[in-house]
Amino acid sequence: MLCDGGGSNSASRYVFKEDLQELANRLGLEIRVAHYPPYCSKYNPIEHRVFPHVTRACRGVIFQTLETVRYYVSKTETNTGLTVKVGILDKVYQTGRKCAAGFKKSMKIVFDTILPKWNYTAVPQSM
């Protein structure tokens, strides 16, 4: 999984690692994560392959409603067959979350030997 360097999924956020650990446990799979260093998200392939086309599809449009955004983003397509499927998440996310007490000691996050701050694997815990 490639992740941006900032925001709620930042490499330094243990809340993200806790949620990742829960996902690994639920799926029973190891999840490998590589974060882009701060200010390097411009190298993220999704930003080069999708965002320019979304920007083109929305050019000149003033977004006044969520439905307007959904409509124009869903119209994104290219001659080579790229299309965009849009789903609206209406969940309200809690702000100011902290990781559970003791998570850092009990987590099964294995940090890489090279750039361990940005590269690690969430290993499922046996239940």
The reply to whether 127 falls in a domain is: no
Q: How many domains does the chain have?
A: 1
Q: Which residue has the tokens 């987590």?
A: 107
11: pLDDT strictly greater than 70 = yes
pLDDT at 127 over 60: no
Q: What angle do CA 32, 47, 67 make, to 5 degrees?
A: 105
CA 72 to mean position of chain CA atoms: 22
Structure tokens at 107: 């987590």
Tell me, yes or no, whether 105 lies in a domain: yes
Identify the residue with better confidence: 10 or 32. Answer: 32
- The predicted structure's pLDDT at residue 26: 95
pLDDT tens digits for range 66-120: 999 999 999 999 899 989 999 998 888 888 888 899 998 888 999 999 999 899 9
Nearest Cα neighbor of 85 from 94, 93, 76 is 76
* Domain-located, residue 26: yes
- Tell me if 25 sits within 8 A of 32, measured CB to CB: no
70 neighbors 88 (Cβ within 8 angstroms) = yes
Range of the domain at 47: 2-122
Residue 37 covered by a domain: yes
Q: How far apart are CA 122 and CA 111, in angstroms?
A: 9
- What would the pLDDT profile of 25-80 be if each residue is shown by its tens digit? 999 999 999 988 877 777 777 777 888 899 999 999 999 999 999 999 999 998 99
The helix/strand/coil state of 67 is: helix
**Cβ(2)–Cβ(36) under 8 Å?**
yes
pLDDT value, residue 48: 77
- Give the pLDDT of residue 29: 95
